[in-house]
Every structure is written in structure tokens, then in C-alpha cells.
A and B are shown apart, each in its own frame.
Chain A
Amino acid sequence: MNRLSDNQDKDSLPLTRGEVGHRVRVDRVTAEGEDAIRLKRMGVCPGFALNILHGGDPMVLGVSGSQIAISKQLASCIFVRPSSDLTPDTDR
């Protein structure tokens, strides 16, 4: 684990703990192999904002304009921070 994520760990939570209706920003994705590719190519990658549309298992996320359903198992591999900004942009 690198220095950057260590610093962020204090307010970085697994996505499963996020609240429905909230907007969060992805910190890191700890899934491996094919699962990581499947998540990331849908836009669930570090630095991007997600809307939690629907809790439970599977949960539904709003990611860059579309709705993505992901199983809880994978959601626990996604670490997020709360995000207050409303633009669908990244923090470049």
C-alpha cells in the first residue's frame, strides 16, 4: 500500500458502508485480475465520482452517466471518500 492511500485511510471506507443517495469519490479498488478490469472499464476507477443509487446486494451505482449493478462482494473492494461536489467531473 502506498503512502497516498495510507494518508487517506482515515476517511476512506468500503463502498458497502456508503449511504444510498450519497455521492462518493473512489479512492482505490482492491479487486484483482478480471474483476478489477470489469470494474474499472465501467468507470469505477480511482478519482472518479459515484452515486449510490440503490443499496443491498447487488447494489446499483451511477457511474459517468450510466447505472451499474455490482455485487456486494465487489463493492467491499472499492474504497471511497464522501464527495460534495456536484459536477460529474474528476478532480484533475
Chain B
Amino acid sequence: MASLTTQQSDQQNSTVTNRPSIALIGNPNAGKTALFNALTGLRAKTANYPGITVDCRVGQIRLPNITADLLDLPGLYSLDALSPEEKVAEAALRGELESVKRPDVVVLVVDATNVERHLSLASEILDLRLPTIVALNLIDAADSAGITIDAEKLAAQLKCPVIPVSARTGQGLEKLRDLLDRVLPAPLTILSTDHVSCTQGCAGCSFTARFQWAASVASDAIDTPPQHGRKASRLDRILTNPWLGTAAFLLVMMGVFYTIFSLAGVPMTLIEELFSIVSEAANGLIDRLPADRWLGGSTIFGLVLTSWSAVNWITKSSWTWPRISIGILMALLIALLPVQDFQSLVVDGIIGGVGGVLVFLPQICILFFFISLLEDSGYMARAAFVMERLMRCVGLPGKAFVPMLSSHACAIPGIMAARVIDNWRDRLVTILVLPLLTCSARLPVYAMVAALLFGDSPAKAALVFVGAYLLGIAAALLTAYALKKSILPGEAAPLVLELPPFRMPSLRNALGTIVDRATVFIRRAGTVILLISIVLWGLTTYPKLPENTQPVAAIGNRAILETERPSEKQEVEENATSQQQLEYSCAGRLGHMVEPIFDPLGFDWKINVGILSSFAAREVIVSTLSIVYGLGEEGAEDETSLVQTLRKQERADGRPVYNTATCLSLLVFYVLAMQCLPTQVVTRRETGSWKWAIFQLGYMTLLAYAAALLVYQTAVVFGLAH
């Protein structure tokens, strides 16, 4: 199982402490996370234990006499764990995880509105003979439903303390904390539970035995109104109806995506502006560095070392010798760079790279905010129910719709959301096809191609977008189908899904989820992406153009070069220099080198440079093309002038470079190609190995190449290459 593969050594040691540990365990929908948040505040962090890809949240719980670690284990229905998350919860309880201490006290969270069902898990947990406290959560909801629970009677039956609590109202929390405070220094004596004998002999089905025990305990201690839980509510009848349910589903999803696209724009622009301010400030600071070679060099050395330590501290990496020597070596190398190169490294490589990653954050946060609300309210299960039939056609479970929809904003939260799928194989197939769906980073590329093809007709340009979206969806579904028929065979696990009661979603849970997902993303994706941005910067910067090269302006800008206005002339010259620099650099040379490969797709070496440089982030192709064609980096922001310049480009035989055939081929290539490093890092994280990330890159690149080849050659046959 990939979830149990060994990971690299940069794990946080901080999660293993000497403090006593308390584990929260319970059925999904027992309100475990809400109780966790209520007990820890929002001071929790996501622990990533060595050897497992599943995150558990860990928080400190401060009690009057003792401070303990509170561990939020994934929810599970029984100890026969089936999903990677359940396996981790089970292993943690059994003390089988090397990096996680066996909990000193287990707090079993039981839904007070449905004690009988949750007690079957309780019987398994009690059999583990760990000191256990039962927290009867949602007691306020049970009260209003007319359910009366005799907690003392229940405690006598279970032979462990039972505390009625409500994470929402705070009722009983003080009592729970007091009890934990008392039992932690000298853990509860473990009493034998007499229901054990019942697990044998009863028709060979241990589940029947446990449910029978649960029913007998519940009927003794709990008084439930007779009709409780026997009828589907009216709302449920609408939401699970094949037609009305689908309509409601579409409405909800459209609402969510409309909000994401209208809300995320503002913080995204803010982040971009913030980073342009930061790079200007950095420019200014670097200009003021001591001019003396030695003094300047050692200042830079100190700066690099400090920021490297800061990054290490933020990501909570361990201070091993190889790590420290890499840091010192890196600082030394950077200190030896000429000042201009250092400036370009900081501004274009590092700040640009970090900004390019952080710009995804608003979408990730908003998306997970809604996912948390929808999940808490109980709607998510209904949506999965409605989508079940549709998704099953391609061999995926209904729950796969959450990651698939999320991926239309950004594949990263989509892949992170694939955890809702229990079955590992189904989850893996979903993760592998998610990046084929059109994410928002593809939009600048689509916009450029649409303007090139149909600049004068908005209706036809819109068709380009619709076609690209449909192509992405079709490719994802077909690939899922193909994977299910080939390397990951097997039908989707048939649906067994609890439809939890509708509840008011909790804002605190949603905020907790945002913090959680955002830190996971920054911590795990951030460092690798930073590294690759620096490598890409190096490829487009070195080797340097010889000093005495004369600027030769691009076609279309020569007229300006001949004008007498000095400011314009200088700008054009600068742009021409960066154009020549790019052609002279490794990236430019590579672009020429791969010409034979991309020629059948109708791409020239300049497009190749764009494709190579946008390997880490597909939207970069727009700014690269702008530099390659001598418009400077800012030229990309002025779409009209870029498109006009692109249209003027000619091949050696006089045909335009961006003819219809090449445009279509470029579009298809960008719909299907991976071209997103952050996604790859997240795939590696969620699947536990680079193997699947590399497979994803490989099949998507091949698919993109083959499809673009087919499109270009077909278009040439139809005479569209003029």
C-alpha cells in the first residue's frame, strides 16, 4: 500500500513529544473534528508522520495540572480498516505506528443522537483494553430530538466514564477536561468488558454480535422516541431524487464556483501586487549593497544563510549535517555570483517563484472552506449519491465528483480532496486524471490562443473555451476508464454510504480546514517549487550573452528602434537584449535542440522555449513568448500587442507561424499536458511516491503530444496551415 511507503528524511521530529497523548476516535459524522477544535482552539497543526501519507491533526490541550497532545485520528466505522485513513487510525490505536506513541487515553466520540450505531465501534475500541473515556457528543441535538440518555447507566454498562458534551455549545467540555486532568497522570484502570464473549459463536458474524450488544446496551440506557430515524426527511427526498437532486446539485456547484471565481480574484491580485512591491523593495535593497566585492559578498552570504535557516524553521525540517552543509554551500555559491545576477536570482527566481505558488492559495482556501461547509451540513453525501450513477459509467465512485469539480479551479485542492474516496485504487485513478481538467492557470493560454484564432469574434472565441473545457473533461473520463481497464483494473467499489443527518455547518471547522490545507500546501509544495524555480531561472539566464552584443529588435519593433524618442528606444533595446539573452541561454538552445521533436506539431523553436519554460507552471508560456518576441516581460500584460506581434511572425517559407493549425495544436497540447510542478509535488505527497507523479507526467505528456500531432496533421490536410 502506497500509504505505508517510506518517505524521505525531512520529517518533523516535533510531533513526537514526551507529553502524554490523548487520541480522539469515533465514527465519521460523530462531530469528532468539532470536539477537537473546541478542546484545542485553532492552535492545532497537521502532523505528517514518517511513513504515512495521511495527515492527523495534533493540538495541545492545556489542563490545569498537565499539558497533553490531542490527536485527531481519522474517523472509522470499525477496526477492519479499509481506507488508508482508517488503516492509520487503527494502527495508531494498536500502537503499530513507529513514529506515533500509543495513546495514553482514548476519547471515544459517540453521536448522542444515534448511540446504538456508534456503540458497535465502542465495543471494538473497548476490546483494545486502552484507558477509554466516552464523550457523548451532540448532546444538545439529542435533547431537542427528545432522546433521553442515562449517562450513568451507560457508564455502568460500558465500564468506562461517559461524559455528555456538545462541541457546539460547550456543554460538558469542562467536565471532560477535568476528567482528563485527573486520569492522565495515573491512567484509568482498564476494566474487563463482558461483551467479549458475545463476539464468538453468534452465527460467525462478529458484526451481528457487536450490534446486538450495542442494541441491548442502548435499549437499557436510552429512551428514543419511536419514530426516530425511520423516515427520510422531505429535504432528503428532494436531494436524492434523480432529477430534482441533480438540479439541486448543479445549482449548489454553480454557486460554489461562481463564488470562488468572483472572490478569489481580489486576493490573487493582492498577492501579485504584494510580490511586485516586494521585488521592487528587493531591487532597491540590493542596489544599496556594499560595492566592495568582499563586503558585498559576505553580506549576501549572511543573508542567504539567514533566510535558508528561516525556511528550514518554518517548514520544521530537521537540522541534519547534510542539510546544513547544503545550506552553507548554497550560500557560498550565491555569494560568489555577480551582483546583477544575484539581483535577478532574488527578484525573478525566488520572489517570482514563491509568488507563483502563493497565487494559488486564495482558490485553495475558498474551495476548502466550501467543501468543509458542505461536508459538515451533510449535503456532500447527498451529492455523492446523485453523482453515483454518472461516475460509475467510467468506473469511478460517486464521491470522485468533489475532486473533479475542485480541479476546475485548481488541480492541487482537487488532488487533496481525493481523500474523500475510501477505496485506494479508485482514489489513485482519480488523482491521476485530475490534472486533465481545465484549471484556472490554463485560462491565460486559452485566452491567447482564442485571440489568435478569432480575435474579431467573441462568440467564436467563446467556442474555443467551451471546446477546451469539454476536451479536458472527456480526456479525464476516458483516461479514468482506460486506467480502470488496464493498469489499475477493477470496478469502482460499490456504494455504501451513510447519509448523515442535516446539521448546521460550523464556521470554526471550516476555518480549521482552511488553515490545515493551506499549511500542508505551503509546507510540502513550497520548498520543491522554490528549488525548481531557481533551476529554471538558471536555465533561462546562463550562459550569459557576451558583453558586446548589439541589440537587434524583434520584427514589428524595428520601426520604433529607428525613431528618435529616447525612452521608447531604450525600452525596445532592453527588450531586444532579453530576447537575445533568452535565445543564447540553455533554455533557448534546448528550444532549438528539440525542434525535430516538436516540428510535426507545427511548433517553432520559440514556442519550444515557451513550452520548456512553462514546465513548472503552464501560464508562464505567455510571458516567455512575450520575451522571446522582444516585447519584454511586461508585454504579456498587454494582450493585444502580444497577439498582434504573434500574428506577424513568419516561417522561413513565408507562412505565418501562428496559423490555424499551429494554434489548434498548441491549444490541444496545453489542455492535455501536465506543465504544472506544484500539482506533481502534491500528487507525490498524496500517493506517497514519485512513481505515480512521474507516471502522471509521462502519460499526460505523451497524450498531449499525440493529440497535438493528430490535430496539426489533420488540420494541414484540411489546408489550415496557411
Using CB atoms and an 8 Å cutoff, list the residues of chain A in contact with chain B.
34-35, 37-43, 45-48, 51, 53-54, 56-58, 60, 62-71, 73-74, 86, 88-90, 92
* Interface mask (B212-254 → A, CB under 8 Å = 1, otherwise 0): 1011100100001010111110001100101000000000000
| In the complex, B385 has a CB within 8 A of chain A | yes
Given contacts A43-B211, A47-B208, A89-B215, contact A70 B499 (CB under 8 A): no
| In the complex, B497 has a CB within 8 A of chain A | yes
Contacts of A65 in B (CB 8 A): 113-114, 116-117, 224, 228-229
Q: Contacting A71 at CB < 8 Å: which of B77, B78, B240, B495?
A: B495
Whether the pair B499, A68 counts as a contact (CB closer than 8 A) is yes
Contacts of B497 in A (CB 8 A): 58, 68-70
Instruction: Report the Cα distance A88→B216, complex, angstroms.
Output: 11
Instruction: Report the Cα distance A60→B499, complex, angstroms.
Output: 9
Contacts of A89 in B (CB 8 A): 215, 219
Contacts of B224 in A (CB 8 A): 65, 88
Q: Contacting A73 at CB < 8 Å: which of B82, B219, B228, B494?
A: B494
Instruction: Report the Cα distance A63→B498, complex, angstroms.
Output: 10
| In the complex, B523 has a CB within 8 A of chain A | no
Whether the pair A66, B82 counts as a contact (CB closer than 8 A) is no
Using CB atoms and an 8 Å cutoff, list the residues of chain B in contact with chain A.
77-78, 80, 82, 113-114, 116-117, 120, 203, 205, 207-208, 211-212, 214-216, 219, 224, 226, 228-232, 236-237, 240, 242, 381, 385, 388-389, 392, 493-501
Within the complex, the shortest CB–CB distance from A89 to chain B, in Å, comes to 6
Given contacts A42-B498, A58-B388, contact A51 B207 (CB under 8 A): no
Within the complex, the shortest CB–CB distance from B464 to chain A, in Å, comes to 38
Within the complex, the shortest CB–CB distance from A42 to chain B, in Å, comes to 6
Contacts of B77 in A (CB 8 A): 41-42
Contacts A57-B389, A69-B385, A92-B216 supplied; 6 other A-B pairs, CB < 8 Å: A35-B493, A42-B77, A43-B120, A60-B240, A66-B498, A90-B215
Within the complex, the shortest CB–CB distance from B199 to chain A, in Å, comes to 13
Whether the pair A67, B495 counts as a contact (CB closer than 8 A) is no
Instruction: Report the Cα distance A46→B203, complex, angstroms.
Output: 9
Within the complex, the shortest CB–CB distance from A53 to chain B, in Å, comes to 5
A and B contact pairs by CB, cutoff 8 A, 24 listed = A34-B82, A34-B493, A35-B493, A37-B78, A41-B80, A43-B207, A46-B205, A54-B232, A54-B240, A56-B242, A58-B385, A58-B389, A60-B499, A62-B229, A64-B114, A65-B114, A65-B117, A66-B117, A66-B499, A68-B499, A69-B240, A69-B499, A71-B494, A89-B219
Within the complex, the shortest CB–CB distance from A46 to chain B, in Å, comes to 6
Whether the pair A38, B208 counts as a contact (CB closer than 8 A) is no
Within the complex, the shortest CB–CB distance from A6 to chain B, in Å, comes to 15
Instruction: Report the Cα distance A40→B231, complex, angstroms.
Output: 21
Given contacts A34-B82, A43-B117, A43-B120, contact A48 B494 (CB under 8 A): no
Contacts of B501 in A (CB 8 A): 66
Instruction: Report the Cα distance A25→B231, complex, angstroms.
Output: 17
Within the complex, the shortest CB–CB distance from B230 to chain A, in Å, comes to 6
Contacts of B78 in A (CB 8 A): 37, 41
Contacts of A45 in B (CB 8 A): 205, 207-208, 211
Contacts of B228 in A (CB 8 A): 65
Instruction: Report the Cα distance A64→B207, complex, angstroms.
Output: 13
Instruction: Report the Cα distance A43→B208, complex, angstroms.
Output: 8
The 4 closest A-B pairs by CB, nearest first: A41-B78, A40-B207, A67-B499, A71-B495
Contacts of B242 in A (CB 8 A): 56
Contacts of A56 in B (CB 8 A): 242
Q: Could you say which of B116, B211, B224, B229 has the most chain A C-beta atoms within 10 Å of its C-beta?
A: B211
Q: Contacting A41 at CB < 8 Å: which of B113, B207, B229, B494?
A: B207
Within the complex, the shortest CB–CB distance from A56 to chain B, in Å, comes to 7
Q: Contacting B212 at CB < 8 Å: which of A40, A71, A90?
A: A90
Instruction: Report the Cα distance A35→B501, complex, angstroms.
Output: 24
In the complex, the chain A residue whose C-beta lies closest to that of B216 is A92
In the complex, the chain A residue whose C-beta lies closest to that of B211 is A43
Whether the pair B215, A88 counts as a contact (CB closer than 8 A) is yes
Instruction: Report the Cα distance A47→B231, complex, angstroms.
Output: 21
Whether the pair A90, B494 counts as a contact (CB closer than 8 A) is no
Contacts of A41 in B (CB 8 A): 77-78, 80, 120, 207
Instruction: Report the Cα distance A45→B219, complex, angstroms.
Output: 19
Contacts of B116 in A (CB 8 A): 64-65, 88
Given contacts A43-B211, A89-B219, contact A67 B232 (CB under 8 A): yes
Contacts of A39 in B (CB 8 A): 496
Within the complex, the shortest CB–CB distance from A84 to chain B, in Å, comes to 14
In the complex, the chain A residue whose C-beta lies closest to that of B124 is A41
Instruction: Report the Cα distance A64→B82, complex, angstroms.
Output: 22
In the complex, the chain B residue whose C-beta lies closest to that of A56 is B242
Q: Contacting B80 at CB < 8 Å: which of A37, A63, A71?
A: A37
In the complex, the chain A residue whose C-beta lies closest to that of B378 is A67
Whether the pair B207, A35 counts as a contact (CB closer than 8 A) is no
In the complex, the chain B residue whose C-beta lies closest to that of A51 is B230
Q: Contacting B226 at CB < 8 Å: which of A34, A48, A86, A92?
A: A86
Instruction: Report the Cα distance A60→B231, complex, angstroms.
Output: 11
Within the complex, the shortest CB–CB distance from A78 to chain B, in Å, comes to 11
Whether the pair A53, B211 counts as a contact (CB closer than 8 A) is no
